[in-house]
Structure 1
Amino acid sequence: MAGQRVLLLAGFLLPGFLLSEAAKILTLSLVDFKEKEISYQVIPWLPPEDYNKGLKNNFDFFIEEALGGRYTFGKFLKFMEQVGLQCSHFLRRSDIMDSLKNENFDLVIVENFDYCPFLVAEKLGKPFVSILSSSFGAMDFGLPNPLSYVPVLHSLLTDHMDFWGRVKNFLMFFDFTMKQRQIQSAYDNTIKEHFPEGSRPVLSHLLKKAELWFVNSDFALEFPRPLLPNTVYVGGLMARPVTPVPQEFENFIAKFGDSGFVLVALGSMVSTFQSQELLREMNSAFAHLSQGVIWKYKPSHWPKDVKLAANVKIVDWLPQNDLLAHPRIRLFVTHGGMNSIMEAIQHGVPMVGIPLFGDQPENLVRVEAKKFGVSIPLKQIKEETLAVKMKQVIEDKRYKSAAVAASIIRRSHPLTPAQRLVGWIDHILQTGGAAHLKPHALQQPWHEQYLLDVFLFLLVVTLGTLWLCGKLLGMVARWLCGARKLKKA
């Protein structure tokens, strides 16, 4: 990769955590994988102040609605229209776009929470690769999807479907396809404004132009499914070497001896949206445990009328990876974000999942199916229910065994996620793209890809042959009848 320049485009809504990790990893040498001093420039950007404030309010409202069980696709679609407008604001910044064009990058790496990075890469006219940070089925980028064993996003099915499961999966496929088109239509005005007529990209086609897709997951979690050669698992990309936990945590853990401790982290985005009722139920449930509980929650936001359980420590920040690697950890209570699950799998820690929104329910379906954890819907979080589930996972050693088995799968890859990322990017830079990794199916219309034209042709030929045979038989029958009448005469 020496002498070649790469542009990384973070998601235009959320901080590009995975992309920032990719930036650090790409400063490593592929040959000896030792750190090299390679400079890179960060270009921050914010939309106009009035719009930015409106977007934040819209986002906060969407999160509150989702956490309150009032999520609707219509609200999400309205939010995505806001994101599409934000993309238009960025593309109007000719100073930034001209600067990026003048840099003459060899490759663009995009994070795909939204579609704007794809449009920026297309506007720059550069080849690009994409990092899929969310659940596998969140975007259709051309992978084969046998509906008999590949669950559709939001179906909450596993790869072991009975008859009615396959019926549900089949019907949800059409619903998913329709919703994808509606989401992509939120960018129609942006595309019309910034791309000339006759060369306007179609987002569904643009996804298939990616040279590579790096998927933030792992075989230890995902159900086996067909992949294309340009699809690479890099789950665990954010893994860091384990370091000793700070003394304040060691002192707390030591109080509970061999009983160990439980780690609770429900994500950075939603800590300010948790209701007091939810906090009460969780706090009361933790009080039933013999283990200590380290809970990531801002102390300044803790309600004054809720007395913290004696075995609970709340902290504004915690070294999650190091605590998951601690020998006395017994359980991880998580929202089911992919990076958190990957860290838990890395260290063989069983989980109790409380999915909040997005891809988290899908991720935790896989955790349950692999039997290294259980999941509880947010609406069902009550003191007794949560306490029973936590004790179940801690005391039943089968969960720990399954988590350790997943950890072995995760750790025993011949290459680390970072080595896979760097190696494949280096490969396509050397070979001038990944055309040799893409099947012709990505360029075929859907009716050709699924052989519908062939089935129609064979159906017409079959029906035509049957019709012709029927006509001939009729003619023969009439001729025989006529010959008998002549004989009788």
Structure 2
Amino acid sequence: MGEERGQGQSTGKMSKHYSWIACLLSLCVISLAPASDGGNILVFPVDGSHWINMKPDCDSSSNSWYIAEQSPLYTTISLEMEIGLEDFFGIFLVEQLKAQREGASALTFLKLTKDFLKMIGQAHAIWCDALKRILEDNELVKSLLDAKYDLMLTDPAIAPGVVLAKYLKLPLVLNVRWVTSGDGQFLLAPSPLSYIPVPGSGLTDKMNFLQRVKNLLHYSITLVQQYFLVGPSYDAICEKYIEGGCDIISLLQDADIWLFRSDFVFDFPRPTMPNVIYMGGFQCKPAQPLPAELEDFVQSAGEHGVIIMTLGTLVHALPPELADEIASVFAKLPQKVIWRHKGERPNTLGNNTLIVDWMPQKDLLGHPQIKVFVAHGGTNGVQEAIYHGVPVLGIPLFFDQYDNLLRVQVRGAGKIISLSDLNGDSFEQGLRELLHQSHYRDNMQRLSRLHRDQPMSPMDQAVFWVEYVIRHKGAPHLRTQAFKMPWFSYYCLDVLLLLLAALCGTVFCVVALFRFLCCRNRNKIKQKLQ
């Protein structure tokens, strides 16, 4: 969703097809864990930043935003699409940015929500059409069956891979944060809305009454999204191609393992399930040396240090007038600045600011000279900032980015400037606050220590559980049976109804007996008086 490419790589030429990939585990995992067992995995990824979280080796040599068709790690089969991902999301993002700059209001919220739901519905419909073409290609399906894969690994933010796994009767491992209805945890584990904020609500785990009302309203939007806009597209495919029928929600809940791209250093505490493996920040690595020219620029900053700024893969540049204001703020500072900006060169650019098309984001964040990370709040970038202990000045643009940054802000490790409030003054104030108030860096360093202090690295955990599913041909013993219960049984309403009926029956019997005895005594008294 709002995750950005971890290396800050530039967008390549549009390739109007979708690559789904058959990987050999012995090839893609041995490079990470030499003692790992081999296996044959069918991978159905989501491109862009989500692919960074799917590809076991995160050191991609390609500058493309898209999955490379040639790689020593895997082979690909390409499927022609009617519209490319970047074209599709680009149209939506331009309108989103324009609406946010107009200012926050109920009307703006309704417009953004309407546009988002429309876009999501269309995106899933396009992918469902692509899945139909896969399932109707008899030769392709036969080759998949003959390959005898050990499991399917897929990102269910867009869920054709989930349906394909059911069709091929493969164990299913999800590399997940988002599912078709939003945050995957709401689909899998008990999620009391009293203290678990719905993505998009902009709330924390501490809510007053009105905030809980707001949280409930946002949750209702996710239900509309799932049951009226997204679900029907998948359910139609399930009914046509899956023996016995099914629905996308039940398929997701039946996944063997959920490799969840979060952890409780980043996220708020909440109930979970035994088949959820939290691997937040698993794409993070120790920093590598910078290219010589970039290292010279960074070292030239001296004791003042360096600020880096990037707004991720999808947004290349802010509006020119806003870019000019930001550039003028940078020019006032004693720090050096590295800014990933592909738009028109700002007129107010200072000598201390280096404009680049691409930056080695993870390596820069791990450099001791970096003082502040100005970012849009994609999951990858926020987790990398936590890993390296760099405070974040967040400018959320869309999707989950505000919620990601909020988790950093409430822990005192960053600050948010909404796009509607962004100008030269607010930007300068935010930067100076993070640069000169040491508690921001101290708090982020504390989060970094907490994140790193675990018995097994997130990547090793992910590898272990993928191999676990291969060894045992699934993990059904870790799946809860709660999803197979009707809603009234899940909440024990039938039991409560029975107990209520028994209580009412007992009260009725006692009252009836009491009335009978009273009436009998009255009759005896009347007889005596006569």
Equivalent residue of 1:131, what SS? strand
Give SS of 1:332's match. strand
Asked whether 1:185 is paired with 2:225, we answer no
1:271 aligns with 2:316: yes
- Normalising to structure 1: TM-score of the pair? 0.88
For residue 388 of structure 1, what is the aligned residue in structure 2? Answer: 429
Judging changes above 3 Å, is the alpha-carbon distance between structure 1 residues 366 and 23 closer, same or farther for their aligned structure 2 residues?
Answer: closer
Q: In structure 1, which of residues 314, 321, 345 is the aligned counterpart of residue 355 of structure 2?
A: 314
Corresponding residue for residue 126 of structure 1: 170
Structure 2: unaligned runs, 5 residues or longer = 1-35, 61-70, 101-107
Distance 1:458 1:342, change over 3 A: same
Range moving further from structure 2, 123-132 or 252-261: 252-261
- Letter paired with 2:91: F
Deviation at 1:44, TM superposition (A): 4.1
1:244 deviation in Å?
1.6
Rounded to whole Å, the distance in 1 between the matches of 2:528 and 2:145 is 93
Aligned residue identity for 1:465: T
Size of the aligned set, in residue pairs, is 469
Distance 2:279 2:238 in 1: 35
Structure 2 residue aligned with 1:47 = 80
Structure 2 counterpart SS, 1:72? helix
Q: Deviations over 1:304-354 (max 9, x none)?
A: 6x3313332110011111111111111111111111011111111111111
Matched, 1:66 2:96: yes
Q: CA deviation at 1:297?
A: 1.1
Alpha-carbon distance in 2 for matches of 1:471, 1:245: 88
Q: Cα deviation per residue 1:104-160 (whole Å; 9 max; x = unaligned)?
A: 101110012212221122222211100114499623432121333222222222122
What amino acid is the match of 1:191? I
For residue 374 of structure 2, give the secondary structure of its aligned residue in structure 1. Answer: strand
Does the C-alpha gap of structure 1 residues 171 and 440 become closer, same or farther in structure 2, counting only changes over 3 Å?
Answer: same
2:385 aligned partner, one-letter code: A
Equivalent residue letter for 1:201 = C
1:134·1:359 contact (CA, 8 Å) conserved in 2?
no
Correspondences of 1:37-436 after superposition (within 5 Å): 40-48=73-81, 51-52=82-83, 57-68=87-98, 69=100, 72-79=112-119, 80-93=121-134, 94=137, 95-134=139-178, 138-139=183-184, 140-188=186-234, 191=237, 194-195=240-241, 199-272=244-317, 274-298=318-342, 301-303=343-345, 306-436=347-477
State TM-score, norm by structure 2: 0.81
Tell me, what secondary structure is at the counterpart of 2:152? strand
CA contact (8 A) 1:354 1:378 kept: yes
Deviations 1:150-206 (A, max 9, x none): 22222222122234333443454344333322243351475168515x622201101
Report the CA distance shift for 1:107/1:332 in structure 2 as closer, same or farther (over 3 A).
same
What is the CA–CA distance in structure 2 between the aligned matches of 1:189 and 1:438, rounded to whole Å? 22
Alpha-carbon distance in 2 for matches of 1:475, 1:211: 61
Q: What percent of counterpart residues are identical?
A: 32
Q: Which amino acid aligns with 2:183?
A: A
- The residue aligned with 2:28 is none
**More deviation, 206-215/13-22:** 13-22
Asked whether the equivalents of residues 266 and 335 of structure 1 are also in contact (C-alpha less than 8 Å), the reply is: yes
Query: Could you say which residue in structure 2 is the equivalent of 1:28?
Result: none
- Superposition RMSD in Å: 2.7
Aligned to 2:33: none
Contact 1:282 1:381 survives alignment (8 Å)? no
Q: Give SS of 2:506's match.
A: helix
Distance (whole Å) between structure 1 residues aligned to residue 215 and residue 462 of structure 2? 32
Task: Describe the shift of the 1:189–1:202 C-alpha distance in structure 2 as closer, same or farther (beyond 3 A).
Answer: closer
In 1, the alpha carbon distance for the partners of 2:527 and 2:431 equals 93
Provide the residue aligned with 2:66 in structure 1: none
Secondary structure of residue in 1 paired with 2:313: coil
Instruction: Give per-residue Cα distances to partners, 1:53-86, cap 9 Å, x unaligned.
Output: 6x65442221112222365333333323343233
Aligned AA for 2:117? L
Cα distance change, pair 8–158 in 1 and its aligned pair in 2 (3 A) = same
C-alpha change, 1:14 and 1:399, in structure 2 (3 Å) is closer
- Post-superposition shift, 1:408? 0.6
State whether residues 50 and 155 of structure 2, in contact with CA within 8 Å, keep that contact through their aligned partners in structure 1.
no
What is the SS of the residue equivalent to 1:180? helix
For residues 248 and 13 of structure 1, what CA distance do their matches in structure 2 show? 28
Is residue 11 of structure 1 aligned with residue 46 of structure 2?
yes
Does the 8 A contact of 2:308 with 2:338 survive in 1?
Answer: yes
Deviations 1:416-471 (A, max 9, x none): 11110111111222222112212222322222222222222222322333333333
